Amino acid sequence: MQPIPYWRLSGFYFFHFAFIGAFAPYWSLYLQSLAFSAFQIGVLMSLLHVTRIFAPAAWGWLADHTGKRLVIVQLAAITGLISYGGVFFGESFAWMFTIMALMSFFWSASLPLIEATTLSFLGESTAKYGHIRVWGSVGFIFAVTGVGYLLDATDIGSLLWAVLGFKLGIVVFSRQIPEAEIAVHPADSQSVREVFKRPEVLAFFAACLLMAVAHGPYYTFYSIYLVDHGYTKSTVGWLWATGVICEIGVFFLMPQLMHRFGLRQIMAFCFGCAIARFLMIGWGVESPAVVLLAQVLHAATYGAHHASAMMVVHQFFRGRHQAKGQALYTSLTFGLGGTLGGLFSGYAWDWLGPGLTYTLCAVAALFGLILVVWKMNVGRHV
């Protein structure tokens, strides 16, 4: 069995999700400071998802074709850093659109390949995935709370420098991880298209896409929503961190949960929690207790959902299809689903208001739940 480069993989996850912890909650506030409209903010924030529709598939195909996953990760990290540097040289909508599109295209290459690499190192011990991935959650908490205090003490421009530091960390750790051996698997005889067309696989991807759509207004407008209702930026940071702290606990518990429950049961529970969570956010924002409880449910709507989804993808796409499978998951869920959710939030926020917007998120999660229960024929080990 290959030795697992635990700390090098964990370090990459730390900085990758620290970048997200600084970017996802606060970048919309920076865009708001540039006087962009809600629709323009929705468009710009959706670029992170738009590029994930097609870029991961292209990177994943190249990685499986060449067998050089980590070379591609390193190249993407460096070019993503260079692209991000453009934010210091312009503030117009067209300029920001170009810079964010370029940065997102290169940034989207990394995570699917790192996920495939991590699972290759783990082999059959995939239940230990959470013990490595948890450091991404730690990085997110570090960034989301630290940047929250930073922005309370300084102006919004300091966010640009914090994000730059995290992107430098991604570059450093991308150069530390060795290539993993790609094991031959009997499923190699099937094409990716043949695997993808199986009814349970289609149901899985459609459900995960709906979960991503449901999270669109959360990732785009949640911080603005809370600040508009009187919450300080540091409180906003701690609310984001609360969700991720609970997510960490789930990552450590996943081996026990997978031993006791089937993957379909876990995913169905996650969708049920998403329905409750988005209704609570939409209609309970005036109550700090309700908002806090909604953040606790992040443990299910992201933590348990993501960990169980990784296990499903790993089992559906084996051997030489691993990177392509991870790329498909990223493209169709975070990419297409995130794009639809972000664009939907840009329209709905102004036209329908936050309450109805988050109610529609709960409806999307309900349809995802129906798909999981009705069609996703998976058991404890898929």
pLDDT at 381: 46
- Interatomic CA distance for residues 94 and 84, integer angstroms: 15
More confident residue, 369 or 320: 369
Pull the structure tokens for residue 270: 């996650």
Going from the C-alpha of 32 to that of each of 48, 96, 97, 157, the distances in angstroms are 17, 13, 14, 12
pLDDT classification of 378: cutoffs 50, 70, 90 = low
pLDDT in tens, 142-191: 998 899 889 989 999 999 999 999 999 999 999 998 887 766 555 555 77
pLDDT for 379 beyond 50: no
pLDDT for 11 beyond 90: yes
Domains and CATH numbers, the chain: 6-176+186-375 (1.20.1250.20)
76 and 354 Cβ atoms separated by less than 8 Å: no
- Interatomic CA distance for residues 7 and 46, integer angstroms: 32
Q: What is the chain's mean pLDDT, rounded?
A: 87
19 and 144 Cβ atoms separated by less than 8 Å: no
pLDDT in tens, 238-276: 898 898 889 888 888 888 888 888 888 999 999 999 999
pLDDT at 382: 42
- Interatomic CA distance for residues 168 and 364, integer angstroms: 37
Identify which of 202, 146, 188, 365 has the alpha carbon closest to the alpha carbon of residue 273. Answer: 365
pLDDT for 60 beyond 80: no
Return the top range by mean pLDDT from 34-48, 70-84, 176-190: 70-84
